[in-house]
Structure 1
Amino acid sequence: MRSALDKQIVRLAWPAFLALIAEPLFLLGDAAIVGRLGTSELAGLGMASVILQTIVGLCVFLAYGTTASVARQLGAGQTSRALTQGVDGIWLAVIIGVIVTAVALVVVDPVVAAFGATDVVNGFALDYLRIALLGVTPLLVILATTGILRGLQDTRTPLVVAIAGNVLNVVLNVVLVFGVGSFEGLGIAGSAWGSVVAQALSAAALLWVVLRAARAQGAALRPDSRGVLSAARASVPLVVRTLTLRAALLLTTYAVVSGAGGSAEQTVDLATHQLAMTLWAFLAFVLDALAIAAQALTGRQLGAGDTTGTRAVTRRVIQWGIGAGVVTGLLLAAASPVLGSLFTADQAVQDRLVPVLIVAAIGQPLAGVVFVLDGVLIGAGDGRYLAWMGLVALLVYAPAVWAAAATGGLVLIWVAFAGIFMAARGVVLVARARGERWMVLGA
């Protein structure tokens, strides 16, 4: 039983992990190409990327919610209904994407100006964003279709499309930014167009796979107002959950800024914090891949009405989460003395980074439990509980991180983040998982 379950977890998690790291590689490719145009262009791309990542990040529920609903219907033997619900999710993605794009194009100028950068940097950011915003709808369709395929226990197809999309993005960016032959290139605007085309084609490829499966099962392809509204209502708790996580990250960064002594100290602390958070986010991909496997397997088992199987999945993914956290923690601790030198020549940042990474390493096993149980409860459709407990964890964390900023500086802030915030989330997740209320059976 355990061996078979382990094979299912690995089969789902490994491709999911590779697909997850494809997203930052997508942005890294853009940065590497645009960086050759100049520092101002790169700074403009950085501002634009933050805005785009925020928009898409808040819509991640399109993947998570769809995974849970599709997996539940699949477990109940209702493949046609699973794909019908998935198609409703795609229509919701299109509706949100069109509205967000229209609004963003109207407000993009004041939003960019609010960053307070120079006119030159603002100009490049706007040049990129006015084009790149056209890719928001394809990106949201990618989220929705990826969620459907995960719910159908297929994480390989999104991986293949992600790799192909990355390769295409790099080729298009090189050609459109720098030109070829008599074509002189479009500069930073070429990077935006290259990304939009790659995103649109990736969305089309995933859409083709899903719609082909839907036709084969006789699922409805037209938008159903009740289905779309139901998907929208179900997404609200997951949006709140995501907002609480974003708020915690913003609060942590703000605490770092306010806790630093002077301008020089602030610069070192901020640079150190940015590097530590980047490494934390990369390691989170490993844990998030396990959470995705947990979503898909939990939804399927509950849909099949199998409480024993659901408990078995929960226990095993917790063990995997702890194990993955121990491994990533040990690797991070071992590499902490040398990681700083890979990113910066500033000795002060390198020295300060080591104790921060040690704290982050100690917190990895706890983070593993938090990530996988988050995935289990998302797979169970328990979004309302996750939303409310996300707010509770944030309220517990806020005074702790402010106290850390006031008394202990950067390392203590990370103790609050990796310890208190993750512990608060862990307590409410473990308490829920030990009970029965989240295990709603059937389709």
Structure 2
Amino acid sequence: MDSPSGLGRAPASEVDAGAGRILGIAIPTLGVLIAEPLYLLYDLAVVGRLGALPLAGLAIGVLILGVVSTQLTFMTYGTTARAARKHGAGDDRGAVQEGVQASWIAIGAGLAIVAVVQVGAGWICAVVAGEPDSAEAAARWLRIAVWGVPLILLTMAGNGWLRGVQRTRLPLAFVLAGEVVSAVLCPVLVHGWLGAPQLGLAGSAVANVAGQAVTGALFLSVLLRQQVSFAPHFGVMAAQLLLGRDLVLRSLSFQICFISAGAVASRFGPDSVGAHQLVYQIWNFLAMFLDSLAIAAQTLTGAALGADDAEGAKRLAGRLTLWSTALATVLALGFAAGHAVIPTWFVTDPGVLDRVHAIWWIFVCLIPIGGVVFALDGVLLGAGDAAYLRNITLAGGLLGYLPMIWLSLAFGWGVVGIWSGLATFIVARCIAVLARAYSGRWARTGADV
């Protein structure tokens, strides 16, 4: 049987990967991870010139779409885990079929989301915004931008199966192509440059959808070139959705905790909420660096287990955890050394800086622990151990972090209490993933998750 174009069984050098192979996956993946946040900053800068109301509308619309996208990241992570297993086992057609079936889910789920948002955009934006003019601006943007959701989900599915077969440069090229199209069109359509109609805030949404169409089309084109059947296979889709259920519940617990943390921080005044948001955004940015290694861990672990090499998977787990912890430690040392200077790059208000310094050392201490957690999260995702990750995240978040957040409000612990809750959450997850990794029960071999 011929292999799909450009694919083949993972050789031993990939199963027991060295530094070159790990970086070959991690570096392009990092590019994909940071491309969207960087574009969002650019989009905000373009729309910001229109004034406060369009900027508020964009911020609210992006927040709503961001919540939807976050809950559907299983389209990438679940597909990677399943495709990597197939690739490691030499089942090239099976690996690509994971991408095909994930793409069918993407189209169906994407169109359903479009329908719901078109009907409920006004109400959704009103609930989030609370202010009528901002809500109306956000709804106008959202009704256009939501047409990009099926394309975003196609991109997630494509990213997933291509990561699974360890072709990470193509996703980077495809994502960058779409971002370039959006970046060119955004100011042209928002401000009416080069003779184009001046669409204002709506121009941002149109530019977003245009870029997403380019990226989605590129991912779809590489899938269509593979020598496989494109008929829907409901058994495979059901298995993907079962894995996705665990990942969605895990992601939802994160969202509940982080939204609660922001809400409680705001009740301690603008200094506290500003400090919390600043340090939290820096944490998220560092998480992208660590997540690039976690995705390499996921991809390579899945391939090793698919190739029936449990010992190789365990060696990879140890090696990648050491790499991630070392990187995180270097980052922590840098932020420790810059404790007096780095916050002033972002804010000069004395009250906010005082609250930033109050939580800075908690943040610094969490970075190396996060290195362990991110790496082993990737290993366990690659092993298809999503149910375990779901359980420990729900337990740590809803029984540890969330109570600490609200106790901080009740007893006036302030932003220090909120970040102590985050520390409890990260440490609990670290203990849980280390225990699971040490047990070896995750290292189940075979082509299926």
* Match 2:262 to one of 250, 253, 259: 253
3-state SS, counterpart of residue 20 of structure 1: helix
Structure 1 counterpart of 2:426: 422
Deviations 1:47-96 (A, max 9, x none): 00100000011000000000000000000010111111221111111111
Change (3 A) 1:156 1:181: closer
* Match 1:74 to one of 75, 87, 90: 87
Pairwise mapping of residues 272-287 of structure 1 onto structure 2 (< 5 A)?
272-287=275-290
| Counterpart residue identity of residue 10, structure 1 | L
The reply to whether residue 343 of structure 1 matches residue 346 of structure 2 is yes
Structure 2 counterpart of 1:31: 44
Change (3 A) 1:68 1:110: same
Give, in whole Å, the separation in 1 of the partners of 2:47 and 2:133. Answer: 15
Pairwise CA distance, 1:407: 4.8
Give, in whole Å, the separation in 2 of the partners of 1:323 and 1:355. Answer: 26
| Counterpart residue identity of residue 105, structure 2 | L
Deviations 1:371-409 (A, max 9, x none): 111111111111111111211112122333334442532
Q: Retained in 2: the 8 A contact 1:377–1:438?
A: yes
3-state SS, counterpart of residue 337 of structure 1: coil
The reply to whether residue 101 of structure 1 matches residue 114 of structure 2 is yes
Structure 2 counterpart of 1:409: 414
* Match 2:308 to one of 305, 310, 320: 305
Structure 1 counterpart of 2:9: none
3-state SS, counterpart of residue 185 of structure 1: coil
The reply to whether residue 193 of structure 1 matches residue 200 of structure 2 is no
* Match 2:320 to one of 313, 317, 320: 317
Structure 1 counterpart of 2:330: 327
Structure 2 counterpart of 1:154: 167
Structure 2 counterpart of 1:207: 220
Q: Retained in 2: the 8 A contact 1:149–1:210?
A: no
Deviations 1:110-153 (A, max 9, x none): 11111344332222111110100000110011111001111011
Give, in whole Å, the separation in 1 of the partners of 2:406 and 2:136. Answer: 36
Give, in whole Å, the separation in 1 of the partners of 2:426 and 2:44. Answer: 32
Structure 2: any 5+ residue segments left out of the alignment? Answer: 1-12
Q: TM-score, normalised by structure 1?
A: 0.94
Give, in whole Å, the separation in 2 of the partners of 1:248 and 1:25. Answer: 25
Structure 1 counterpart of 2:18: 5
The reply to whether residue 228 of structure 1 matches residue 216 of structure 2 is no
Change (3 A) 1:322 1:130: same
The reply to whether residue 431 of structure 1 matches residue 435 of structure 2 is yes
Structure 1 counterpart of 2:193: 180
* Match 1:42 to one of 38, 55, 59: 55
Q: TM-score, normalised by structure 2?
A: 0.93
Computed over aligned residues only, the root mean square deviation of the Cα atoms, in angstroms, reads 1.7
Give, in whole Å, the separation in 1 of the partners of 2:429 and 2:302. Answer: 21
Give, in whole Å, the separation in 2 of the partners of 1:404 and 1:425. Answer: 21
Structure 2 counterpart of 1:294: 297
Give, in whole Å, the separation in 1 of the partners of 2:140 and 2:183. Answer: 19
Structure 2 counterpart of 1:358: 361
How many pairs align?
A: 432
Structure 1 counterpart of 2:4: none
Give, in whole Å, the separation in 2 of the partners of 1:342 and 1:274. Answer: 14
| Counterpart residue identity of residue 101, structure 1 | V
Give, in whole Å, the separation in 2 of the partners of 1:179 and 1:165. Answer: 21
Pairwise CA distance, 1:4: 4.8
Give, in whole Å, the separation in 2 of the partners of 1:298 and 1:181. Answer: 50
Structure 2 counterpart of 1:390: 393
Percent of pairs identical after alignment? 38
Structure 2 counterpart of 1:137: 150
Q: For structure 1, which segment, 332-341 or 18-27, has the greater mean C-alpha deviation from structure 2 after superposition?
A: 332-341
Q: For structure 1, which segment, 342-351 or 10-19, has the greater mean C-alpha deviation from structure 2 after superposition?
A: 342-351
| Counterpart residue identity of residue 193, structure 1 | V
Give, in whole Å, the separation in 2 of the partners of 1:122 and 1:250. Answer: 19
Change (3 A) 1:442 1:44: same
Displaced runs of 4 or more, over 6 A: none
The reply to whether residue 242 of structure 1 matches residue 245 of structure 2 is no
Deviations 1:185-214 (A, max 9, x none): 1111011001101001111111212322x2
Q: Retained in 2: the 8 A contact 1:151–1:296?
A: yes
Deviations 1:298-348 (A, max 9, x none): 000000000110011000111012111101111222233223332233221
Q: Retained in 2: the 8 A contact 1:48–1:128?
A: yes
Structure 2 counterpart of 1:263: none
Give, in whole Å, the separation in 2 of the partners of 1:54 and 1:126. Answer: 15
Pairwise CA distance, 1:238: 0.9
Q: Retained in 2: the 8 A contact 1:177–1:187?
A: yes
Give, in whole Å, the separation in 1 of the partners of 2:404 and 2:144. Answer: 42
Q: Retained in 1: the 8 A contact 2:188–2:194?
A: no
Give, in whole Å, the separation in 2 of the partners of 1:181 and 1:16. Answer: 35
Q: Retained in 2: the 8 A contact 1:60–1:143?
A: yes
Structure 1: any 5+ residue segments left out of the alignment? Answer: 261-265
Q: Retained in 2: the 8 A contact 1:92–1:231?
A: no
Pairwise CA distance, 1:177: 0.9
Q: Retained in 1: the 8 A contact 2:147–2:209?
A: yes
Structure 2 counterpart of 1:368: 371
